[in-house]
Structure 1
C-alpha cells in the first residue's frame, strides 16, 4: 500500500516538473521573437506618425462641424434679437480657429 502512495506522489511531482519545464520552454521561445529596443522605438514612431496625419484631418473635420453648429446657433440668436449675439459668435469663431491652429502648429512642430 505504501509503495502505491509513493508511486502516486512521484507521478504527481513528475507531472508538475514536466508541465513547468514545458511552460519555461514556451516562455523562452516567445522571447526569441522579440526585437531590440531601437527597432521597437522606430516602429512605434512610424505608427504614431501615420496616425498623426489621420488625427489632424479628424481635427479639421471636427473644426468644420463646430463651425457649422456655431453658425446655426449664432443665426438663431441673431434672428431672436438677443443682445449677446456678438459674444456667442466670437466664442464659436475662436474655438474653430483654435482647433485649426492647434492642428497646424502640432503638425509643423513635430515635422509630420
Structure 2
C-alpha cells in the first residue's frame, strides 16, 4: 500500500512539473505574440485587401453581365406577350446592371486601387 502511495505521489509530482513547464511555455508564447509590430500587420492586411479588390471588381462585372442577360430574357418575354409595362421592366433591369458596374468602378477609383 505504501508503495502505491509513493508511486502515485511521484506521478502527481511529474504531472505538476509538466503543467508548470506548459504554463511557462504558454506565457513565453503569449509574450512573443504581443511583441509583434502593429504597422507590419496593418500593411499586410492592406495589401491583401487590395489584392482581393480586383477579383471582387471582376466578380461584380460578371454578376452585372448575368443580371443583364436575365433581364434581357425577361424583357423579351414581356414584349412578346404584349405586356404594357415592358419599358418599366427594361429600365429597372438596365438600371441594375449599370448600378453594379458604376459601384465597382467608383469604389475602385475612390480608394485608388
TM-score range, shorter chain: 0.7 to 0.9
2:94 pairs with 1:93: yes
Higher alpha-carbon deviation: 5-14 or 73-82:
5-14
**Aligned residue pairs: how many?**
112
In structure 1, the partner of 2:37 is: 36
Q: What does the per-residue CA deviation read over 1:32-82, in whole Å, with 9 as the maximum and x for residues that have no partner?
A: 477311101100100000000110011011101100110111011001101
Q: Which runs of 5+ in 2 are unaligned?
A: none
CA RMSD of aligned residues (A): 2.2
1:72-91 matches, cutoff 5 A: 72-91=73-92
| Alignment partners' CA distance in 1, 2:76 and 2:11 | 83
- TM-score for the superposition, normalised by structure 2: 0.85
1:46-85 matches, cutoff 5 A: 46-85=47-86
Structure 1's consecutive aligned runs of 4 or more residues displaced over 2 angstroms after TM superposition are 1-4, 26-35
| Alignment partners' CA distance in 2, 1:38 and 1:24 | 28
| Alignment partners' CA distance in 1, 2:92 and 2:24 | 61
Secondary structure of residue in 2 paired with 1:21: helix
Q: Which runs of 5+ in 1 are unaligned?
A: none
- TM-score for the superposition, normalised by structure 1: 0.85
